[in-house]
Amino acid sequence: MYTSGGLSVRDYWCRQSCGVCTAPPLSSPPPPPPRPPPSPCVDQLSYCADWKNSGYCDPTYTSGGLSVRDYWCRLTCGVCTAPPLSSPPPPPPRPPPSPCVDQLSYCADWKNNGYCDPMYTSGGLSVRDYWCRQSCGVCTAPPNAPFPPPLPGDALIGGCADPAASLLLHNQYRTRHGSPALGWNNTLAQQAKNWAANLALNNSCGLYHEGVAGENLYMASTSSQTSPLNCSRAVDAWYGEISLYKFTSTPYTDNTFSSIGHFTQVVWASTAQVGCGAVRGTNCYVVSCRYAPPGNIIGDSNFLANVLPPVSARRSLEVDVASVDDVLPTGSDSDGQVVITSVA
């Protein structure tokens, strides 16, 4: 008989409590989502060691609602063990050692001052194992066996208009000083040509060395784009430095090397091979000749043994070189600068 708001208390407002009906059993809550896999065995914070020392690895401690032990500081709190560090990859193989030559002209001085000790470096590279291998005794230079000369009929490559005359002129000048004749090496000629091309085409015929031992460079100005690239002209200019050379008992000490280094390389007795290249630039051309084994080894004893005074008993140089006069330029080309050879 009781109502509220015109509706039965028993049959509307309070059906379950008044026993009018029976409520269905409550359904079970959904199971919790699966736990995420444990994080890697690392600490998430930089100060986990301090927290451990303060006792915060106890499982009751949390930070930001997450367990210090099981989340923030798993490694420090000993929940897990970090895997061993993987071994670093092996270093790349060492490059093969450079040829048994010194890379610098003053290696003998460095050796005398104790710089062959393995602790000394220059530019991040070992003095003993890189810059001065021969002087420091890391290796032994092979004997100066000459390269085989080109076979009869082989082309003398390199770009010179007169490679045979250039070789002949080298040897006629060397004969005057008692030095053995050189053989032509096409590998050296190709290397010389490549470097001459770099200077002529990329550097307006400005001269500087590639950094190899045994190299003479020459530049000539010319307004013609068709005149021959005469390498013998460069040989003639280099030998002209003889007028400045002092034939003394201490020649390396007494001479200014920047004035005579081309001449000494041309006549250096222990050099066995030469190859020359020439490339035309804009209103100029560059000649490069490379020598093996390289000359200009520093020290008075080396210069005494390899740069001998002219032999007066031999035919005069004027007669000796007459056969190549026709290939030496005599026209409108003007001499350019000559840069000193590398010393090694």
Asked if residues 59 and 70 have their Cβ atoms less than 8 Å apart, the reply is yes
Asked if residues 189 and 291 have their Cβ atoms less than 8 Å apart, the reply is no
Confidence tier at 36 by pLDDT (50, 70, 90): low
- pLDDT of 251 reads 94
Of residues 311 and 24, the one with the higher pLDDT is 311
Residues whose CB falls within 8 Å of the CB of residue 229, separated by 6 or more in sequence, listed in order = 159, 160, 161, 278, 279, 280, 285, 287
Instruction: Say yes or no to pLDDT of 180 above 90.
Output: yes
- pLDDT of 265 reads 96
- pLDDT of 13 reads 82
The CA distance from 61 to 52, in Å, is 11
Strands (E), 171-223: 183-184, 215-221
Confidence tier at 154 by pLDDT (50, 70, 90): very low
User: Averaged over 230-246, what is the pLDDT?
Assistant: 95
- pLDDT of 235 reads 96
Instruction: Say yes or no to pLDDT of 306 above 90.
Output: yes
Instruction: Say yes or no to pLDDT of 198 above 60.
Output: yes
- pLDDT of 255 reads 94
Least confident window among 26-40, 117-131, 287-301, 303-317: 26-40
% of the chain residues with pLDDT over 90: 31
User: Averaged over 73-95, what is the pLDDT?
Assistant: 70
CA distances from 55 to 62, 76, 129, 160 (A): 12, 12, 56, 86
- pLDDT of 286 reads 93
The CA distance from 299 to 260, in Å, is 15
Query: What phi and psi values does residue 197 have, to the nearest 5 degrees?
Result: -65, -40
Instruction: Say yes or no to pLDDT of 344 above 60.
Output: no
Model pTM score: 0.51
Confidence tier at 142 by pLDDT (50, 70, 90): low
- pLDDT of 305 reads 92
Residue tagged 């004035």 (tokens): 259
Q: What share of the chain is helix, strand, coil (3-state, %, to 5)?
A: 30, 15, 55
Contacts of 151-154 with CB under 8 Å at 24 or more apart are 154/186
Asked if residues 343 and 258 have their Cβ atoms less than 8 Å apart, the reply is no
pLDDT one-digit tens code per residue, 256-305: 988 999 999 999 999 999 999 999 988 889 999 999 999 999 889 999 99
- pLDDT of 315 reads 42
Instruction: Say yes or no to pLDDT of 29 above 70.
Output: no
Instruction: Say yes or no to pLDDT of 87 above 50.
Output: yes
User: Averaged over 77-104, what is the pLDDT?
Assistant: 65
Residue 120 is which amino acid?
Answer: Y
**The domain over range 157-316 is classified in CATH as 3.40.33.10:** yes
- pLDDT of 215 reads 94
Q: Which range among 95-99, 131-135, 193-197 has the greatest average pLDDT?
A: 193-197
- pLDDT of 91 reads 55
- pLDDT of 105 reads 63
Query: What phi and psi values does residue 63 have, to the nearest 5 degrees?
Result: -145, 125
